[in-house]
Amino acid sequence: TIFCSATRHTHRPAYIPNQIPDPQYVRVFDTTVRDGEQSPGASMTSKEKLDVARQLAKLGVDIIEAGFPAASNDDLDAVKMIAKEVGNEVDENGYVPVICGLARCNKRDIDASWEAVKHAKRPRIHTFIATSEIHMKHKLKKTKEEVIEKARSMVSYARSLGCDDVEFSPEDAGRSDREFLYQILAEVINAGATTLNIPDTVGYTMPNEFGQLIADIRANTKGIENVIVSTHCQNDLGLSTANTLAGARAGARQVEVTINGIGERAGNASLEEVSVWAHDIWVVMALKCRGDRVLGGLYTGINTEQIIMSSKMVEEFSGLHVQPHKAIVGANAFAHESGIHQDGMLKHKNTYEIISPEDIGLHRSNKSGIVLGKLRYAMPNCVCSALLPQLGYDIDSKDLDDLFWRFKAVAEKKMSITDDDLIALVSDVVFQP
Ligand code: KIV
């Protein structure tokens, strides 16, 4: 069956900055408290950022981008606190997340970033500079040569501080000239970069284009085999998850994501969508290729059972509400309204659910996920009769008929009817004098 099972990988390859011992493993780089916090109206206190970082560690992300330390003293302090605490909490399997700080390609930013992250067991500096014509000309007012020189010298400077894990991003890579990208990326590899992140900063590319961009960079950049290639896909055209997966299929082994997909403008690729899909690719491929679920396909270290908890925490702290129809974590993601779907669900839950809600940590109070709502006229009596035994009731056909008419009367007035409403109605029918 094509059904996403949440078997968790207990094996996580050893952390080496510029290589991954298992070629199928995809590192998850979470930027909820950095890029995510850049969402308009979504600021978090330092304590909230620390709580989110701790939850991200529980979730099993490999790298936590904890902030932009040069932006303010508060940012610097928050990143430092996360580095000191979460960056030193090693679990029984030796897992501790990398703590990363963002920096533009200048010494002040890089110093601030290092000052904050150096307290972690695994510190990383992430430095970036724009490489598209439009950014270089209008924003940076720099020539290509000047941009290359900045990138090369600042990666080298970050390494000289004692940081052996340096990520470089050519901002707006999705709209940058290919030959120029190959050139600047080769220069920063030579200067000591360990991860090359390829941002589609304005969410401009289509999945086939973004996949091809990653493939071309891997094929044409000198020294690329010595580093990890990463994706960072914004969601301006609603394609961030598709682009991220296309990048991973083309050989990227780090994906940059946020919880609930929050971030600048239309947000980022969402961790829950990408990691559940990575899981799915892994399960489907494993069944197809080996059948023993050991080899084949991509996988991450994400503990999917922590997804709902992470989503709720970020929703509360950021104040950004998750839309009800959001994939994986939306309130309606596991709710079934139409009569045809309800009928299918009551016969076999995999008819309309490809993931078990429990596998992402969702324990519905309404076990069936059946919504008795505005499509109530499509609801045949059999739905009522199948649902009631699930709720622990067994009533005869006369009472069932009575119940159905009472149910319809209430449904005229309410948007949806919960299990508790149904239980109250059953009591009225069964216990009427
Ligand atoms: O969107 C972007 O380009 C970024 C980079 C700093 C990675 O956030």
Q: Mean pLDDT in the chain?
A: 87
> Of residues 83 and 248, which shows the higher confidence score?
83
285 Cα: distance to centroid of ligand 1 (angstroms): 31
Residue 169, ligand 1, Cβ within 6 A: yes
pLDDT tops 70 at residue 386: no
Q: How far apart are CA 13 and CA 224, in angstroms?
A: 20
CB of 168 closer than 6 angstroms to any ligand 1 atom? no
For residue 130, the CA-to-ligand 1 centroid distance in Å is 9
Question: Does 273 sit in the ligand 1 pocket, CB within 6 Å?
Answer: no
Banded pLDDT at 88 (limits 50, 70, 90): very high
pTM over 0.95: no
- For ligand 1, atom 3, which residue shows the shortest CA distance? 201
pLDDT at residue number 294: 36
Q: What is the pLDDT of residue 401?
A: 76
Mutate to test the pocket of ligand 1, among 30, 37, 106, 171 (most ligand atoms within 8 A of CB): 171
Ligand 1 atom closest to the CA of 169, numbered from 1: 7
| Interface TM-score (ipTM) > 0.90 | yes
- pLDDT tens-digit map of 254-282: 999 999 999 999 999 999 998 876 765 55
CB of 171 sitting under 6 A from ligand 1: yes
For residues 172-182, give the mean pLDDT. 98
pLDDT for res 429: 76
199 C-beta closer than 6 A to ligand 1 = yes
Query: 143: which residues sit within 8 A by CB, 6+ positions away?
Result: 136
- Whole-number pLDDT of residue 64: 98
The whole-number average pLDDT for the span 139-158 is 98
